[in-house]
Amino acid sequence: MIGPNTNGDMPQIAASSYVHPTAVIIGNVIIKSNCFIGPMAVIRADEVDENGKVLPIIIKENCNIQDGVIIHSAKGKSVHIGPEVSITHGAIVHGPCTVETGCLIGFNAVVYNAFLEKDVVVLHNAVVEMVTIPSRKVVPANSTISYPEDFTRLQEYTPAIEAFCRKVIDTYKQLTYGYLMNSKS
């Protein structure tokens, strides 16, 4: 379902992006080119601030928002997803939130009120809240990072992790293209 929020804001979705028919995209959502929005994903920009506005959820180029992902934001807050970001199955991103270029958020991870600098990886079942994670760091699986003191648990971004992130982006670019071609036949 693609539809307006209570303010009448409609999603803006690039023609080169693929949205699965079971995805729900509501309100002031901007999805740039070559993105994949998977089955049962929910992207909802609908909470009105004190000025009667709904701030946007922006998803930049070449992102993949996989099955069952939820992206939402509190009133008066926004979510910005940079280019070539992978948000994998079942993850939740709740604004205010910024996820910069090349990040990967793993299965069932939660990112809330956080800033992920370039090339951050949040592994499965991790929680990141109310912090800025520095560029090229890895949040371990099943961990919670809520304070700068927790940064001692962050791992280094290795060439193997970089290659894995690149492989995910490339796979979903191919899927986006393939699904769009099939829908035109």
Look at residues 114, 115, 116, 107 and name the one whose alpha carbon lies nearest to residue 87.
Answer: 107
Residues 124 and 176: their CA atoms lie apart, in Å, by 24
CB 66 within 8 A of CB 84: no
DSSP readout, 3-63?
E--TT----EE-TTSEE-TT-EEEESEEE-TT-EE-TT-EEEE----TTS----EEE-TT-
* Location of structure tokens 């991103």: 93
Residue 47 annotated as catalytic:
yes
Q: Which residue type is seen at 170?
A: D
Look at residues 127, 112, 107, 50 and name the one whose alpha carbon lies nearest to residue 79.
Answer: 112
* Location of structure tokens 């992102």: 63
Active site residues: 47
